[in-house]
Structure 1
Amino acid sequence: MENKILGLHHITAIANQAKRNLDFYTHILGLRLVKKTVNFDDPGTYHFYFGNETGAPGTILTFFPWEGIGQGINGAGQATHIGYAIAPEAYDFWKQRLGTHNIVVEENEIFGEKTLSFKDPDGLQLQFIVPKSTDNRTPWSTPEITTQNGLKGFHNVTLTLKNSEPTIKVLTDILGYSMEKQEGNRFRLSTDTIDTANIVDIMEDETTPYGRGAAGTNHHIAFRVKDDHVLMDFREKVLSAGLQITPKIDRDYFYSLYFREPGGVLFELATDNPGFTKDEPLAELGRHLKLPKQYEGRRHDIEQSLPQL
């Protein structure tokens, strides 16, 4: 299993206001702020990582909160919905809690799994899903959200595409996913290398307009590999399939490759190593502003320029 894709590693999206984004995901949704750093290419913008206690792969939602970037449009060529797994007994808790915070919730079933669909303050489309199979991951808890009710991590991610076939080919031939089922224009693919965060859904609709990346939209989705050796094996596979892919990039907490799949979604491959305790102990994750080493000499200026939290 070690030289295979191990489901989702993280998902990265765009927000409009750093403080609002931080408050929503830590207070209302009860995720842990695992890392507070800055965008590698734009150190005047935060990069937040939200997850479980350790920031385990498959639980990490990250954001670039670009102040004043304006509203994006979810549409074709994007990962449009992020699905979190919840326990069956947490369903009513979340329905009530989201309602209390004046969040409009839609109840439905997707592939026979009970789902609460809603949007974050920027319009990012989230889904809380009761999986058919038991998810034994332990959520981060807060004074208001117990481990019984907390978010376990990702269940799935949904891509919206005009034509699913080329993307399905990448997922099956390169990344090792298998077609599990289809209902109408919705496809479900999964990998059996891991039990959780292992599902990619595709909604195919050639009439859907293309999305536009800004606040409330996805930036990229990252698939998980064990280490950099496996990472570079996959680089060869992607190149052999005729797709362009970046060189290996050191993201401080993992190593990455990026490529755009034929449907337009930016895919990343990310390693488990070295992890989030590389530069601060487990108990203090997310408490300190951590800067990529090339920016450490500019710490004072960067701290002054970042939005107030």
Structure 2
Amino acid sequence: MSAHGIHHVTAIAGKARQNLDFYTRTLGLRLVKKTVNFDDPGAYHFYYGDEAGSPGTILTFFPWEHAAPGRAGVGELQETVFRIPQASIGYWTQRLVNQGVERETRFGETRLTFRDPDGMRLALLGIAGIEAEPAWAGSEVPVEHAIRGFHSVSLMLEKTEATGAILTDVFGFQETGREGDTTRYAVPGTTLGGVVDLRAVGGFLPARLGRGSVHHLAFRAADDAEEMEMARKLLANHGLRTTEQKDRDYFRSVYFREPGHVLFEIATDIPGFAVDEPAGSLGGALKLPAFLEGHRAAIEAALPDLG
């Protein structure tokens, strides 16, 4: 049976060095790939995740230093939520004090909410019994407190019904609960990135893409065949056509705008991040797609200094 759920989340950052420091040092994630935006090779594309860069752990960024701040509103991914051991809530509360961390409860779960240096909304959710799960041990965050991939994302939409229908019909989610204006969908048996919350907020201003906002949300497909079947269902059952398939080197993708205007991607689990460098050295070197390799010198000269 194929694993479903969230593959990755891609957001917009400002300064590349600041972004790199926050996610690898403050949050203790592994930089699993350092490449460029394939459509804008003058900008980095950073991928952060667990030790192997597993689907369901990957948060990626386009650092555009001069990007204007985004505006929160309808039609965006509002919050990205990571999993941590329940016993680590106190550790992370102290660690994130400078980020304005707040403690709250949603769907009966204890969570810490905060923002990254560019204003992106993040949360850590304490979960009992995950202490033995694999965690990245190569950061300054003690391994017993380390992040264990995604728990969920929250989308702010004018209406949620049509988006919920796609989650259930195409991506294998089921509605599991409602709280106020939020409906929760989850993939049975999926621990990493298996939850999507849809919040209905009719009447709000539309979101404006920019620094600190999410560019797109990607869902998992095991391989090309499953991806194409998902695309077929989208067209046949929901009248939505995807883009042509794009080769992103580490996965292959199609994109579409869901009914609430959030950009969705379907990304294959294969081939993974170890396709062009050893697993033990992930993120160590600047990797370029073959069609840009001949321009390496010019690209490296134009990229921001990470020193």
TM over 0.5: yes
**C-alpha distance after superposition, 1:210-263 (max 9, x if no partner):** 110110000011111111111111111111121021111111000111111000
Q: What residue number does 2:166 align with?
A: 170
- For 1:290, which of 275, 287, 290 is the aligned residue? 287
Rounded to whole Å, the distance in 1 between the matches of 2:167 and 2:191 is 17
- What is the CA distance between 1:77 and its match in structure 2? 0.3
Q: 1:189 to 1:114 in 2, by over 3 A?
A: same
Determine if contact 1:7/1:193 at 8 Å carries over to the other structure.
no
Q: What residue number does 2:56 align with?
A: 58
Q: What residue number does 2:179 align with?
A: 183
Whether 2:202 is the aligned partner of 1:198: answer no
Q: What residue number does 1:268 align with?
A: 265
Query: 196-205 vs 148-157, which deviates more?
Result: 196-205
Determine if contact 1:138/1:147 at 8 Å carries over to the other structure.
no
- What is the CA distance between 1:45 and its match in structure 2? 0.4
Whether 2:20 is the aligned partner of 1:22: answer yes
**C-alpha distance after superposition, 1:80-107 (max 9, x if no partner):** 10000000111100000111xx110111
**C-alpha distance after superposition, 1:4-23 (max 9, x if no partner):** x6111110000011111001
Rounded to whole Å, the distance in 1 between the matches of 2:122 and 2:149 is 12
- What is the CA distance between 1:144 and its match in structure 2? 2.6
Q: 1:82 to 1:136 in 2, by over 3 A?
A: farther
- What is the CA distance between 1:174 and its match in structure 2? 2.1
Determine if contact 1:131/1:155 at 8 Å carries over to the other structure.
no
Whether 2:45 is the aligned partner of 1:47: answer yes
- For 1:259, which of 247, 256, 263 is the aligned residue? 256
Rounded to whole Å, the distance in 2 between the matches of 1:201 and 1:182 is 9
Q: Give the letter aligned to residue 250 of structure 1.
A: D
Q: 1:237 to 1:143 in 2, by over 3 A?
A: closer
Query: What TM-score do you get using the length of structure 2 for normalisation?
Result: 0.96
Q: What residue number does 1:238 align with?
A: 234
- What is the CA distance between 1:165 and its match in structure 2? 1.2
Q: 1:125 to 1:188 in 2, by over 3 A?
A: same
Q: Give the letter aligned to residue 222 of structure 1.
A: A
Rounded to whole Å, the distance in 2 between the matches of 1:212 and 1:110 is 26
Q: What residue number does 2:219 align with?
A: 223
- What is the CA distance between 1:136 and its match in structure 2? 5.1
User: Structure 1: any 5+ residue segments left out of the alignment?
Assistant: none
Q: What residue number does 2:207 align with?
A: 211
Determine if contact 1:188/1:199 at 8 Å carries over to the other structure.
yes
Rounded to whole Å, the distance in 2 between the matches of 1:283 and 1:66 is 28
- For 1:137, which of 118, 121, 133 is the aligned residue? 133
Percent of matched pairs sharing the same residue: 47
Determine if contact 1:6/1:193 at 8 Å carries over to the other structure.
no
Determine if contact 1:86/1:130 at 8 Å carries over to the other structure.
yes
- What is the CA distance between 1:47 and its match in structure 2? 0.2
Rounded to whole Å, the distance in 1 between the matches of 2:289 and 2:280 is 21
Determine if contact 1:222/1:267 at 8 Å carries over to the other structure.
yes
Q: Give the letter aligned to residue 300 of structure 2.
A: E
User: Structure 2: any 5+ residue segments left out of the alignment?
Assistant: none
Query: What TM-score do you get using the length of structure 1 for normalisation?
Result: 0.96
